[in-house]
Structure 1
Amino acid sequence: MSELVTAHPWFNDRFQHLTQLHQANRLPHALLLHGMPGIGKADFAQSFAHYLLCQQPENNRACGHCKPCELNMAGSHPDLYLLEPEEQGKQLKVDQVRALNEFIYSTAQQGGYRVVVLNPADSMNIASANALLKMLEEPGGDTLILLITSKIGQLLPTIKSRCQHVECHPPAEAEAVSWLMNAAELDEERAKNILHINLGAPMEALAYINNGLNEQRAQLVRGLADILKQRRTALEVAQAWSKLNIELILSWFYSLLIDAARGALCESSEFIRQDDARNMINAVAKKTNPVRIFKLADKVHEERKAILLRQNPNKQLLLECILLEWAALLN
């Protein structure tokens, strides 16, 4: 039997606010948890669901030893419904949403709340979102629907307007570094460097470590440096990168460009945060107009967004175009 999920400490204020709403009988029937990816929003949602279903919460947290808590630890609580796509990265099917009807409008088997956790909410297409609308408008009593997203702009306005929003912020750097040091048994410098690579998102940083992404990251930095030093052409690097996780590569490339633009604007390397590419970023920042860097960053961002929106661009051609522009930055 596993342990109960615990909300991360940087969400304590948000969590306490929701518990106060519940205790005052003012908890809405739908909450939309949104914020940047990799900061633990899913753990926050599950932890709050466990609190609501607990029979004797302690210090505004699930007790961990009542029957509902035991059921949650076993992953078999009948009043908790986890709704997600059948495959990661795929859309949530309308039939999956419609299957919620019986759960939403039935009586709670444990006599308390019924909780739905929908993650990610942006995986709904128009049909599945419309199927959810009626449940959001007319839920059963003592029902909470928790929607989670890192892409709030992709949700229908009708969905967003029927939920109370809970904006989830990333932790302060010191708190994130401390958490990652403990979670991954790292020293402070290594934890800080990996967090900078992952834009300060602790869960993304931990996944970076657990999934062994060091080599992909090294290929990114090496490829960009080779182009600038004319050791390889943009076409050769694009061909090598096309076998990697393109979404991840573009995310890292974008953050490197933002660092370079920041360095160019401030005319200082002090604002460059990614140590594994510091010399290269500094060289680009010193020799390039920040407007040109921002223009390429915008292009990389748009190409990544196209992939996230499940468009199917020619990856080789996409990479060739942006790497040719990277090569031109120092010309």
Structure 2
Amino acid sequence: MSELLKPFPWFDERFAHLGQLHDQNRLPHALLIHGMPGIGKAAFATAFAQSLLCQSPVQGRACGHCKSCDLNAAGSHPDLFILSPEEEGKQLKVDQVRGLGEFIYSTAQQGGYRAVVVDPADAMNVASANALLKMLEEPGSDTIILLVTSKMGQVLPTIKSRCQHIECHNPSETDAINWLMAAADNIDAEKAKSILHINRGAPKEALSYIEKGLNEHRAQLIRGLADILKQRRTALEVAQSWQKLDLEMLLGWFYSLLSDAARGSVCQSPELLRQDDARNMLNAVAKKTNPVKIFKLADKVHEERRAIMLRQNPNKQLLLENILLEWAALLN
């Protein structure tokens, strides 16, 4: 962290609620902040922690001018502890969590709160979670632990039960479009809307999509699915052509496409198809396929993606071949 963070505007209500709890001396010592990936939960948690550390808050927000805010802006506040894996995508090690103990039970150097942000909370295994449990139960006075996750199913029940849950929802489409246009270069409202639909309405995911240049990866997915339906390539050939693409990303996109097709099939309304880059293909599938078959394949794709998120290591070629063979069978 190298700046004073502000919560995204779609979190204003949640931020105000936590501020009211603080003003009423009812703020819990542990919060589990959860919601879809890419909507700014970690920034929300860190911004709230910074507001608690601020010496002169303005309407519940960090003032940006006091000594504490200067320290937070420099990323060096001694009473704020950010606990994250040493490498992205890796687990939080038990020694990392144990190292938090000295911070938790020390005196706040600035004389106010001590704040901890654990991001992501689902990166803890049983050993690291157990190391955190005692701190959650007895964190000491004027201490708050904010745990952030996009994968509630992977957070251990013992951790969940010791936190107050703060559910974070996606922003409205208007808010998301406006934010994405301001954050990205040379993008109009229609393009922003299209990219948001690809990324399930999550603004940060959409921005990452733009910055990483994922258009070609997405195009490979759409071309492959269309080629299978039009019998230009076999499921095995398409699976082979996808070997270098990120499997979790592919399955997430595929699941979203199937969800669109299922809605269109059930309601017989092409207006419900939200993903413009695949509209014709999805409309054909929706018109010609029993929705039960689409839902069945969507469930399978969802379960395969969930297995990957749980750090299982499937045979990529075999997994793709199986689901693409079922995709080919949708129109048969």
When normalised by structure 1's length, the TM-score is: 0.98
- Aligned residue for 1:47? 47
Q: 5+ residue gaps in structure 2?
A: none
**Does structure 1 retain, via aligned residues, the 8 Å contact 2:122–2:154?**
yes
1:265 corresponds in structure 2 to 266
Q: What count of residue pairs does the alignment treat as equivalent?
A: 331
d(CA) in 2 for partners of 1:291 and 1:173? 29
Tell me which residue corresponds to 2:32.
Answer: 32
1:2 deviates by 5.1
The 1-side partners of 2:7 and 2:78 are apart by 22
2:163 aligned residue:
163
3-state secondary structure, aligned to 2:82: strand
> What code does the residue aligned with 1:313 have?
P
Deviations 1:181-216 (A, max 9, x none): 111142110000000000001110011111111111
**3-state SS of 1:170 partner:** coil
Aligned to 1:197: 198
SS of structure 2 residue aligned to 1:32 = strand
Say which SS state the counterpart of residue 230 (structure 1) adopts. coil
Give the C-alpha shift of residue 178 in structure 1.
1.3
Aligned to 2:173: 173
Root-mean-square deviation (Å): 1.0
Write the letter of the residue equivalent to 2:249: L
Partner of 1:240 in structure 2? 241
CA distance, structure 1, for counterparts of residue 316 and residue 86 of structure 2 = 25
Report 1:230-309 matches (<5 A): 230-309=231-310
- 2:31, 2:145 within 8 Å by CA — same for their partners in 1? yes
User: What is the match of residue 206 of structure 1?
Assistant: 207
Deviations 1:123-175 (A, max 9, x none): 11111111100000011111000000111121121111111111101111111
Q: Residue in 1 aligned with 2:81?
A: 81
Whole-Å separation in 1 of the counterparts to 2:269 and 2:317:
34
User: Which structure 1 residue ranges, 5 or more long, are not aligned?
Assistant: none
Q: Is the 8 A contact 2:32 2:160 kept in 1?
A: yes
SS in 2 for 1:165: strand
Does the 8 Å CA contact 1:34/1:167 hold for their aligned counterparts?
Answer: yes
Deviations 1:219-264 (A, max 9, x none): 1001101111111111111011121011000000000000000000
After TM superposition, which residue ranges in structure 1, 4 or more long, deviate above 6 angstroms?
Answer: none
- Distance in 2, matches of 1:95 and 1:142, equals 24
| Structure 2 partner of 1:72 | 72
Q: Aligned partner of 2:173: which letter?
A: E
Q: State whether residues 3 and 75 of structure 2, in contact with CA within 8 Å, keep that contact through their aligned partners in structure 1.
A: no
Which whole-Å CA distance do the structure 1 matches of 2:182 and 2:164 have between them?
Answer: 33
C-alpha distance in 2 between matches for 1:213 and 1:4: 30
Identical positions, percent: 76
**AA partner of residue 210 (structure 1):** E
Alpha-carbon distance between aligned partners in 2 of 1:69 and 1:220, rounded to the nearest angstrom: 45
| Shift in Å, 1:293 | 0.3
Deviation of residue 287 (structure 1)? 0.5
Query: How far apart, in 2, do the equivalents of 1:282 and 1:102 lie?
Result: 58
Mapped partners of 2:12, 2:203: distance in 1: 16
- The 3-state SS of whatever aligns with 2:33 is strand
Q: Could you tell me how far apart the structure 1 residues matched to 2:295 and 2:23 are?
A: 48
SS of 1:10 mapped into structure 2: helix
Q: What is the Cα deviation at residue 317 of structure 1?
A: 0.5
Distance in 1 separating the partners of 2:173 and 2:198: 13
Give how far 1:86 is off: 1.1
- Structure 1 residue identity aligned to 2:318: L
Per the alignment, in what secondary structure is the counterpart of residue 180 of structure 2?
helix
CA distance in 1, matches of 2:241, 2:85: 31
Secondary structure at 1:65 match in 2: coil
Q: Contact between 1:34 and 1:149, CA under 8 Å: does it hold in 2?
A: yes
* Counterpart secondary structure, 2:115: strand
For 1:313 and 1:95, how far apart are their aligned partners in 2?
29
Q: Distance in 1 between matches of 2:7 and 2:97?
A: 26
Indicate conservation of the 8 Å contact 1:242/1:319, yes or no: no
Distance change (3 Å), C-alpha of 1:108 and 1:176: same
Report if aligned partners of 1:30, 1:136 keep a CA contact under 8 Å in 2.
yes
TM-fit CA distance, 1:3: 3.7
